[in-house]
Amino acid sequence: MDEKQIPTVEMSLEALSVAVGKASEDLRAVRSALDTARADIVSHNTSMSRDVVKDAEKAINELRKADEGLREVLQDLAERD
């Protein structure tokens, strides 16, 4: 969106739809990588840096915030009728 242009509801929803689409692709790729890493750790009895735990907790918190925000948007859309 152009910063000088005041976003309309349609523009905002379109931007959100694009962002959700990109995020869903990224989340699928991350999930696959996480599953692979978990299987590798179990099968090779390897360890990971404690930074992984810290970063995972941070990501979980951010995903929860995003989930709450998206739930609010869906609630707003449902209330429009």
Question: Where do the structural domains in the chain lie, given as residue ranges?
Answer: 8-47, 49-81
Is the pLDDT at 2 greater than 60? The verdict is no
pLDDT tens digit string along 52-76? 999 999 999 999 999 999 999 999 9
SS3 per residue for 3-69: CCCCCCHHHHHHHHHHHHHHHHHHHHHHHHHHHHHHHHHHHHCCCCCHHHHHHHHHHHHHHHHHHHH
Percent of the chain with pLDDT over 90: 72
Q: What pTM does this model have?
A: 0.76
Is the pLDDT at 77 greater than 70? The verdict is yes
pLDDT attached to residue 79: 92
pLDDT attached to residue 72: 96
